[in-house]
Structure 1
Amino acid sequence: MNARPSTLPPRPADPGGNDAAGEHRALDWNIAIGTAIRLMKPGPDVPRQEAEHAVRSLRRFSVEAESHVREITGMGRDLPIAEGDVVDRPDWVRGAAHGLAELTDAALSTADSQNPGGSDLLGGFSARSAGVQAGVVLAYLGGKVLGQFDPFGRSRTEGQQGRLLLVAPNIVAAQRALGVPGDDFRMWVCLHESTHRLQFNAVPWLREHFAGSLGTLLAEMEGATGELISRLPTALREARAVRSRSESSPGVLGIIELLQTPAQRAALDRIIAISTLLEGHADHVMDAVGPQVVPSVVAIRQRFTERRKGGGLLDRLLRGLLGVDAKIRQYAQGAAFTRHVVDAVGMAGFNAVWTSPDHLPTRSEIGNPDDWLRRVHG
């Protein structure tokens, strides 16, 4: 299924594939895009009439959904609402690569300012080989991602920043697999992604804070390749010990944390806390609209949650390697935090998280929301 792809403005690149905007870039995004598109599977075979209806409804719901989100959250009521970009899989890859390039440029600029002297983040990898590896990841995710808000993308609407991408073939494929009403599912997806768009547009400092936090993490990791390798045997022993005490593996994220220094782990904790809050808040909102907006919302949530657990052996292995399972846990943890706080102090009280970076929950507080309530609300 091919949606009418929106045009992605080209990024200036030199002949070697590195952006003119950042000579320190260690990853060739042009190679990543080309690799992903070559490896990616085609979308589902959808009759033309059904495809056209899906595209039209996604565009309409991307506007309607944000209106519902604003009513629920009380955020951004005076901001303009932009129509989302309905894309196919290759155009999602282009958009995702563009957004990641912008994010990493901003983060690396922060890292360079905190740790002058250059980056050793990719060690001996060339920009080309790193691009190929990124392309493999994008190819896998390109068949899974339903939608994405890119806070660093170029909006076509004045007063809005960022770009909302809705991947039509993946949404149709997921809706068919779940056996739920098409319009209900499309609205449900738009609610989640519109919440992300509102988070970044209604909270002026969030975009820069997120990039800056990532930059701090990169600065802490620069020049640490040798140290990471030297700690690997100990980390693997600790990971096996964790596995022996529980039924679940610590996964790649768990191993990375075992490899890190305390300063690196603190920087990663801040990134994980922000991401968990954003995802959990969006998951809470998409379910809070209720059956008045999405009549089959309860069935969709139940079936979608079960589907997240599924997949064959190879799919589960890839999900673990790419950190997808860790992201799925973020949805649940962040939604539980949001629900607990809203139940305790209402949505207006929850919105204190957006007043300043100091009011964002820590990673520990995500798991213990009463600690955040005591700190922020007394």
Structure 2
Amino acid sequence: MNPLRSLRTISQASGEGPVDWGAVGAAAKDVTSPGSVDLTQHEIDGYRGDVTAARRSIRELAAVSFDLPDTIEIQNRHHWIDANVETFRRVMAPIETHTDVFFPDASRVLNTGSTTLMLSFLGKNVLGQYDPLLLAEGDAEHALYFVHPNIRRVATELEVEEERFRRWIAFHEVAHAAEFGAAPWLSGHLEGEMERGIAGLASGRFDREAFRELDAAMTAVEGYAELIMDRAFDDEYADLREKVEARRRGGGPLAQLMRRLLGLGLKRRQYERGKAFFETVADARGIEGASVVWDSPETLPSGEELDAPEKWLARVG
């Protein structure tokens, strides 16, 4: 790692926009150890087997048809940063084109620095990612990533067997693939709410309804994946669940601050709120009944229904 070079890169941020995205990627990698992806053949076969088993088990359990993305990568932290610089750039583009500042050069340095901090923190902590490539141009293919150094480190920190932990993470990410595969409309729906909310921010207002709808949809996405990863998993998981939940809540003061700044507390709430909703629905109607949520945008639960699943059950029949 080279923190001084990272600071120099940030201080020299240039370009026309409020963020120098090239500098963000370079500076984030300078303060993030890449970690190793020198995998043995056994480990490679393990990832392949995990994903295949997850697809088969989830298809059978949820009774939904879906394919895995063509792109499935075992990444180091730098690979993940490179992939997600583009994601950040796409999401920020509408705001960038509508932002006027009095001191653009100084603002660009600050924005580049704050975005670098976010990406480096996430790059050190993300375990796996299903990327639906929202807001991408054309018919971009979805992707599935596993950040191997983080999986290995966290398994060690949690004192759990790495292979079992890795397999459980695979079930979570493949569950996301199942959602987007079963609901071809989902990407467009999320993009529409994102664009509506971002357009409001770009024009200096907060579209509360757009963000409320986006939060409800993302809560359903995260909650369903949490339910499916547990119920489809082919081993004991109670200890994994308990330790991962503690990790989401814990960390030192800096980690907790970063989680608040990045909205990861909101994401944890989405996990918990969504899973509670789907647990209730699945207990009442089974997994197939819970999967009805992906029939159309109209079958997504509202914010009110997420907290009162019986209202959703009554509405969808």
Query: For this structure pair, what is the TM-score category when the shorter chain's length is used for normalisation?
Result: 0.7 to 0.9
User: What residue identity is the alignment partner of 1:300?
Assistant: L
- Give how far 1:71 is off: 1.6
Measure, in 2, the Cα distance between the counterparts of 1:53 and 1:17.
46
Measure, in 1, the Cα distance between the counterparts of 2:68 and 2:283.
30
Contact 1:144 1:170 in 2 (8 A): yes
Q: 1:281 aligns with which of 184, 205, 224?
A: 224
Q: 1:120 aligns with which of 99, 102, 111?
A: 99
Corresponding position of 2:261: 321
Q: Deviations over 1:234-286 (max 9, x none)?
A: xxxxxxxxxxxxxxxxxxxxxxxxxx5xxx21111111111111111111111
Corresponding position of 1:10: none
SS in 2 for 1:268: helix
Question: Identity percentage over the alignment?
Answer: 30
- Give how far 1:345 is off: 1.8
Aligned length: 299
Q: 1:90 aligns with which of 78, 86, 110?
A: 78
Please report the TM-score for the alignment, with normalisation by the length of structure 2. Answer: 0.84
Structure 1 residues 123, 164: closer, same or farther in 2, change over 3 A? farther
Corresponding position of 2:7: none
- Give how far 1:90 is off: 0.3
SS in 1 for 2:144: strand
Q: List gaps (5 residues or longer) in structure 2.
A: 1-13
Corresponding position of 2:178: 198
Q: 1:347 aligns with which of 266, 287, 290?
A: 287
Q: Deviations over 1:281-314 (max 9, x none)?
A: 1111111124xx12x3122112222222221122
Contact 1:334 1:366 in 2 (8 A): yes
Contact 1:143 1:170 in 2 (8 A): yes
Contact 1:308 1:328 in 2 (8 A): yes
Q: Aligned-residue CA RMSD in angstroms? A: 2.9
Structure 1 residues 122, 275: closer, same or farther in 2, change over 3 A? farther
Corresponding position of 1:266: 209
User: What residue identity is the alignment partner of 2:27?
Assistant: T
Q: Deviations over 1:43-99 (max 9, x none)?
A: 3x89x67x664444223312321222212211125x366472100000001112223
Q: Does 2:26 align with 1:34?
A: yes
- Give how far 1:372 is off: 1.6
Structure 1 residues 160, 36: closer, same or farther in 2, change over 3 A? closer
Corresponding position of 1:245: none
Q: List gaps (5 residues or longer) in structure 1.
A: 1-15, 19-24, 113-117, 154-158, 226-259
Q: Does 2:59 align with 1:70?
A: yes
- Give how far 1:169 is off: 0.3
Measure, in 2, the Cα distance between the counterparts of 1:161 and 1:42.
25
SS in 1 for 2:270: helix
Measure, in 1, the Cα distance between the counterparts of 2:299 and 2:100.
30
Contact 1:192 1:286 in 2 (8 A): yes
SS in 2 for 1:76: coil
Contact 2:73 2:145 in 1 (8 A): yes
